[in-house]
Amino acid sequence: MNATDLNAHIRRSLAVLPESADELRDLDQKLGDGDLGITVSAGSSAVIAALEQLPVDATPADIARATAKAFANANPSTMAALVAGALLAGSRVWADKTDITVADAQAFVAAAAGSIAQRGKTQLGDKTIYDGLAAVADALADAPDTDAAIEASVSAAADAVERTKDLQSRRGRASWLQERSIGIADPGATALLRFAESWRTAAS
């Protein structure tokens, strides 16, 4: 995927993602402070606007950096800061890329996951978005082509949501609920799943 197509695909995906805002708000009201729906909606709109303003010679790394900046500036939330940091980490592995392959996408997601783990001080099983990102990175490593990569990403993200649903949340505001967090899907991991689904929708 070249930079022009990447830009357009991100914008198409983020035009779909806000359809999940109410679901994410409701989940976040159970485990967080209830602002995830707004974070997703405002961030998506800001990123779309920013990417529309990029020059035609913008590289994939430029696109990732612009996405990170717009998403962070649209929201004062912790999740927005973590996601922006993850996007910036991913942009660095695309520094010399003009076309993005499945392997490049895998490297991006792995770097993003590493950023979330470090900045969020989280690990697998803490029931956060990191569980989903790590699962998607692993799935992309085995994907033979773009179509398979998209399906594998959706499946891995969905599995992470279900696999961690019955765990106790151990990071962020959700951890305050202790045992009461068990049985509720993590909002961040669910947001990742909905983005993966939106990416698939944009590709169809």
Question: Given this model, what pLDDT does residue 18 score?
Answer: 94
**DSSP string spanning 42-107?**
HHHHHHHHHHHTS-TT--HHHHHHHHHHHHHHH--SHHHHHHHHHHHHHHHHTTT-SB--HHHHHH
pLDDT 10s digit of each residue in the chain, 204 long? 999 999 999 999 999 999 999 999 988 888 777 788 899 999 999 999 999 999 999 999 999 999 999 999 998 888 899 999 999 999 999 999 999 999 999 999 999 999 999 998 888 988 899 999 999 999 999 999 999 999 999 999 999 999 988 877 766 656 655 666 688 888 889 999 999 999 999 988
The arrangement of secondary structure in 3-203, i.e. its CATH architecture, is Alpha Horseshoe (1.25)
| Residue 22 in tokens | 């109410």
Nearest to 131 by CA among 152, 159, 154, 111: 159
| Residue 203 in tokens | 């590709």
- For residue 164, the one-letter residue type is T
> Looking at the DSSP assignment, which residues form a beta bridge with residue 99?
2
- 105 with 117: CB under 8 angstroms? no
Question: Given this model, what pLDDT does residue 152 score?
Answer: 97
Q: How far, in Å, CA of 68 to CA of 89, rounded?
A: 10
Burial of 142 (0-12, 13-18, 19+ CB in 10 A): exposed
- For residue 63, the one-letter residue type is I
| Residue 175 in tokens | 């951890």
- For residue 132, the one-letter residue type is G
Q: How far, in Å, CA of 33 to CA of 77, rounded?
A: 10
